Amino acid sequence: MGDYREMWKNLNMDLEKHDILCEALPESFGDIYLTQKNRPDAMNYFNYTLAEIHGARIEEIKHEKDNGKKVVGTFCVFVPDEVIYATDAISVGLCSGSQFWIEDGEKVLPRNLCPLVKAFVGAKTSRTCPYFQSCDMIVGETTCDGKKKAYEIVEEYMPVHVMELPQMKREKNFVEWQDEIKIFIKRMEELTGNKVTVENLKKGIDLSNRKRRALKRLYDLRKNIPSPISGLDALLVSQVAFMDDPERFIENTNKLCDELEKRVNDLKASGKKRIMITGTPMAIPNWKLHSIVEGLDAEVVVEETCTGTRYFENEVPDEGDTIDDLVKNMAERYMNINCACFTPNEGRMDDIVKYAEEYDIDGVIYYNLSFCHTYAIEYKKVEKALKEKNIPLLNIDTDYSEEDTGQIKTRVEAFMEMI
Ligand code: BJ8
């Protein structure tokens, strides 16, 4: 990575603390990623993006900001990027996947809280995340109590807009979500000074759909036996999707898929167990479970998570002549994401069973970030649905620390022997 200290200083970052964070990332990336054998050449783009995640990409965002663009940070796949793109703003997923930020998060939050929430608060209060520091506004949502209340703390540091996500899927809830999207449109117009029109909203829909299509293409390729790409590499692509320039991301993901398509015919059966991971999101640099599983002669071939299928499944139709029509299309697509924050959430069981068949899964690992109650409680439903189909399931409840890595490895090993 080049020398970006001046830029970080101008972003009001805590440079000394940030140095510590920057030291840890290349080492763990090298150990986990660069030791993999036979990686696709097109992964070089994603390696580079990761290496420059606090450097070149932030510099690029700074240039765009200097030219008048606004930057909006998000934490959830319910926040409609289409609107952000329509107002010519930049959307960045504020990853919150690092143990590094937990200590600072715990200074202002209770310890017994989801690590994702503690990490995003810690990232802001410690001034060590250049994405957070670049944001003109962050967009929260009322998906869980932890996030909902944590936005009140972050609001002391920067402008926050919270979208109220309905937690049931009745007809009236679809209408409520349309209203929330309209309120968000207004807020984005105020922030950027750009009016949302049918034309630019259709462009935003098109860009978001093309991004979804590229990711879907990648995931479809993973259905091959063996998969032409490791779960670790596919996870990195999904994680980068949240921070990268969308057009460049689409181009490079499609290039990767072109290469993988050629690979498919040459790959010989590996006999590796095919694993699905389902549950809570895995933001950069959370590669813990994938690296354990793939270190054990198994391959992760699909993630039913928000850094997986929930991010890209289903497109937003662009039919319609009015903003209202397009908002309705968006609301329909987003309300059909099956997050455990909904009650009931039977659609998620259907998705998991469907993916188990489509990806020819040998076993499922339920990944639960500690203290995420909605996903923890939903485990029983998933267990029942998979039992009916005779699909083995392992429950892993963990955080971002490395303390339980040995223990998880032992449990995953026993699971692999059993399936
Ligand atoms: S759509 S999974 S990104 S809410 S922060 S709910 S892990 S306790 S992230 Fe999520 Fe949107 Fe749902 Fe997806 Fe649990 Fe933690 Fe809350 Fe979390």
State how far the Cα of 130 lies from the Cα of 138, in Å rounded to an integer: 14
Q: Please, are residues 369 and 307 in contact by the beta-carbon 8 Å criterion?
A: no
For ligand 1, the distance from its centroid to the CA atom of residue 94, given in whole angstroms, is 13
This prediction's pTM: 0.97
Other CB atoms within 10 A of residue 360 CB: 13
What's the alpha-carbon Rg for the chain, to the nearest Å?
21
DSSP calls for 55-87 = THHHHHHHHHHHTT--EEEE-STTS-HHHHHHT
State how far the Cα of 216 lies from the Cα of 267, in Å rounded to an integer: 21
Q: Is residue 352 within a helix (H) or strand (E), and if so which, with residue range? A: helix 346-358
Determine if ligand 1 sits within 6 Å of the CB of residue 94.
no
Nearest to 98, CA basis, from 20, 156, 172 = 20
Mean pLDDT of all residues in 375-399: 98
Q: Is residue 139 within a helix (H) or strand (E), and if so which, with residue range? A: strand 137-141
Tell me the sheet residues that pair with 90: 71
Residue nearest to atom 3 of ligand 1 (CA): 76
In the chain, the amino acid numbered 350 is D
Token pair, residue 316, equals: 């937003």
Determine if ligand 1 sits within 6 Å of the CB of residue 283.
no
Categorise residue 12: left if φ over 0, alpha if ψ from -120 to 50, beta otherwise. left
With 80 as the cut, is the pLDDT of residue 344 above it? yes
With 90 as the cut, is the pLDDT of residue 270 above it? no
Token pair, residue 320, equals: 């319609």
pLDDT tens for 299-309 read 999 999 999 99
Mean pLDDT of all residues in 380-385: 98
Percent of the chain past pLDDT 90, that is, above it, reads 95
pLDDT score for 1: 67
Determine if ligand 1 sits within 6 Å of the CB of residue 115.
no
**What is the residue whose two structure tokens read 């250049």?**
130
pLDDT score for 2: 72
Determine if ligand 1 sits within 6 Å of the CB of residue 147.
yes
Pocket mutation for ligand 1, best pick of 280, 348, 370 (most atoms within 8 Å of C-beta): 280
Residue nearest to atom 8 of ligand 1 (CA): 372
Q: What is the mean pLDDT of the chain?
A: 97
With 80 as the cut, is the pLDDT of residue 363 above it? yes
Per the model's pLDDT, the better-predicted residue between 250 and 25 turns out to be 250
pLDDT score for 26: 81
State how far the Cα of 338 lies from the Cα of 247, in Å rounded to an integer: 27
Determine if ligand 1 sits within 6 Å of the CB of residue 118.
no
